[in-house]
Structures are given as C-alpha cells and as structure tokens.
Amino acid sequence: MNELFLEIGERAVREAGSILIKRYGKEVSVKTKKDGTQVSKLDILSEQSIIRTLTESDMGFSIRGEETNAIHSGSDYTWIIDPLSNTKGYLQKNGDFAISLALLDKTGVFLGFVFDPMHDDLYIAQRNSGSFLNKEKIQTVKKRQKNPSVFINRWCKESFPDMMKLTSDVTVLSDSIALAMCRNSTSNKPHTLVLYSDVFSTAAASLFLKETGCVCTDMQGNELDFNGMSSKKEYGIICSADKMFHAHIMKTITNFL
C-alpha cells in the first residue's frame, strides 16, 4: 500500500511543479493575506492540481490545503498541502521555491514529499524507512557538532526578536522553509533550525529531518503533533542534529517566549 501512496504523492507534486515552471517568470496576480503573507494565482493553481490528482486516486482520504477549504472524508488519513512554499521567492524569480505534501495517519506524518521543480530535486521521507533525495538514501547526520549555527525564519524573528541572541551565529532564512529544512539534512554541517511556521510548511520536511537522525520538537520539547495543529496558527519548532545542543537551545528559548 505504501508504494501506491508514494506513486500518488510523487505524481501530485511533479504535476503541480510543471504548472509552476510553465508560468515561472510571467506576470502573476497576487493578494496579501491577513497574516501579511502573499498568495498568488499560482498558489491556487498548484493546489488545485494536487487536489485533483489526490481525489482522482480514489483513496477517500481527507485533504487540508493551505489555500482552499479542507475536504473531510472521515478517513484516518489526511493529506497536508503547501502548494508553493516561498511564494515571495517565486514572484521575485530567485529560483527558491518548493511544493510540500505530507500524508498523516492517526499517529502523525508517515510520508513526506518536498519537490524543488527548478532543480528537479525530490525529497521523500517515509516513517521508519529513511529519507531520500532523488531515490538515493540520505545518510544519518552526525550527532555532535562543533560551534553549531542557528537558522531562524522571518516569522520567528518578527514574533520573538530576542531569538537573534540565541547564539553568536544566527542567520535569518529568506528561502522556502520546506526546502531549507530538507537541504539542511543533506549538508555536511547541518544547522539547528528554530522556526515559527505553520503545519503546511513543515509537516513533510520535519519527517525528512527526523528520518536523518535529527531531533524535531516544539519549543517546549514536545513531539510535533500535526494532527492537532490548527491550520490557521503558527507553531514554534526546533530541529537539530545535536541532541545536547537542541536541549540547550530549548532551555535558552524559554527566556524569550
């Protein structure tokens, strides 16, 4: 059954990616949402394409998309869609954007897809089976790191300005959160990520990180519960390849919340 899920998920993100690439660099209508983020016509078209592929598979799963109303089927399985991670980057034509798709069961995320259509890179994670980049398994990252650096995203900095004081080496991400998380796992020197984001941006990529040996929790050290996360709320997430540094960052963060 997992092979079928993998085939459907890959087809969904690749078809949506084709739409984004076809329209890349062309004028696109844009609206600003209440949270200040941008949503473009391509966000909608990408999400519609993914939903169409998922519903045509006739699996009967529930679907939660970032830009459209949820489809509740009563199933134990739910697809979580971020149709265009880093809309701003897409509109600015900087080449840094992605599509994120996760499949949840009652116990959490068990399949994750993050597709970078500009470079044709497909990141896939399967619970208890590992993480893969273009079908090649990613090796488990080293646990201990010397002088680890911290990356935070813009929402995290704006919501908690003191996060810039976490260490002497803090960088603010400007790219796709989903891509940044996946690329971090494949780096020779992975950073610790402190993010304030939503379920759509992080569900798939968090599994990718966990399957490479990273510790991923909320800012209180609890397991990430994407089933219980509201679609309309941001959450604090810490991901680190170094368990001891993860604990240090989590303790430090309590002074800033």
Q: What is the pLDDT of residue 230?
A: 66
The percentage of the chain sitting over the pLDDT mark of 90, rounded to a whole number, equals 45
- Give Cβ neighbours of residue 231 (< 8 Å, ≥ 6 apart): 64, 66, 70, 198, 199, 200
Give CA–CA dist 224/238, Å, rounded: 10
Is the pLDDT confidence value at 40 over 80?
yes
Is the pLDDT confidence value at 242 over 60?
yes
- Count the neighbouring beta carbons within 10 Å of the beta carbon of residue 78: 22
Eight-state DSSP code of residue 142: P
Q: Give the model confidence (pLDDT) of 198-222 as tens digits.
A: 889 999 999 999 999 899 998 888 8
Helix (H, G, I), strand (E, B) or coil at 54: helix
Count of H-run helices and E-run strands, the chain: 7, 14
pTM given for the model = 0.92
Q: What is the pLDDT of residue 37?
A: 72
Reported in sequence order, the residue ranges of 163-221 that DSSP labels E, i.e. its strands, are 170-172, 192-197, 215-218
Q: Calculate mean pLDDT across residues 106-117.
A: 96
Show the domains of the chain with their CATH numbers. 2-137 (3.30.540.10), 150-253 (3.40.190.80)
Residue 159 — very low, low, confident or very high, per pLDDT cuts 50/70/90? confident
Q: Calculate mean pLDDT across residues 112-139.
A: 96
Is the pLDDT confidence value at 190 over 80?
no
Give CA–CA dist 175/118, Å, rounded: 13
Give the tokens for residue 78.
């739910």
Q: Calculate mean pLDDT across residues 43-52.
A: 96
